[in-house]
Amino acid sequence: MPLDVTGRTARLYRMATPDHLCPFGLKSRWLLRRHGYEVEDHPLTTRDETEAFMDDHGVETTPQTFIGGERVGGYEAVQRHLGHMPAQDKETSYTPVLAVFAMAAAMGIAVALVAGIGAAHALQASLAIAMCLLAVQKLRDVESFSTMFLNYDLLARRWVPYGYVYPFAEALAGVLMLGRVLPWLSGPVALFIGTVGAVSVAKAVYVERRELKCACMGGNSNVPLGAVSLTENLVMMGMGLWTLSTLL
């Protein structure tokens, strides 16, 4: 629980040179003030001053916070001291992928309002946008994504380049579906990658009972491989079938 820090004083030493203003120093100062500390702010305005401070106190990084004469440490240590959980300490969460689907739904509704399309096409637009947004997360670092993808995708394990192709295929299918063009291409692509993905996730999670991170949000994501990951792939399968049905 957060401490009662009313009336307490903290000394903060942070790097603030002409060419670098430490963001974690600013975050530390804000968080301390938010919790009622009076902050004695000591900007280190030159590289030499910063190096001298670190040498004097035997530390390797700044910012550094001192409370009650004791060194608390950097920004993450301040977070823990005040009862907050640093980002890297947090458990796996579905929040990132749920945020993508929520934003996609909002954008789909906005498109529907502007274009005057019906509910069915609004849903199709929302799901196509979700595919595009998820593809962007993967395309930010394809190398990292492909590495995480290899942990569970059955096709990528047999043919490694598939891990590099997948984000582009997802983006292509999403854009074409959003524009409602070339359904003969977008439909099979979405159906194929969605089916392979669904089988891979089902095997890894529900058959082998492995605890893995999902590559759906790109490499180094904190999203667990599970029901939401399976749902994403089932949605792509459904979108593929829906798109193909328009050709009949």
| 208 within domain boundaries | yes
Among 27-31, 97-101, 145-149, 214-218, name the one with the lowest average pLDDT: 214-218
What is the average pLDDT score of the chain? 88
Per-residue model confidence (pLDDT) at position 97? 79
| 2 within domain boundaries | no
Enclosing domain of residue 96:
91-245
Domain boundary residue, one of 40, 55, 88? 88
φ/ψ (deg, to 5) at 71 = -80, 125
| Domain shared by 58 and 151, yes or no | no
| Domain shared by 212 and 190, yes or no | yes
Q: Which two tokens stand for residue 95?
A: 């929040």
| Domain shared by 197 and 229, yes or no | yes
Q: Identify the band that residue 5 occupies on the pLDDT scale cut at 50, 70 and 90.
A: very low
| Domain shared by 46 and 154, yes or no | no
Q: What is the pLDDT of residues 77-106, one digit of tens each?
A: 999 899 887 655 555 667 787 888 899 999
- Mean pLDDT in residue range 157-165: 93
| Domain shared by 29 and 103, yes or no | no
Per the structure, the count of domains in the chain is 2
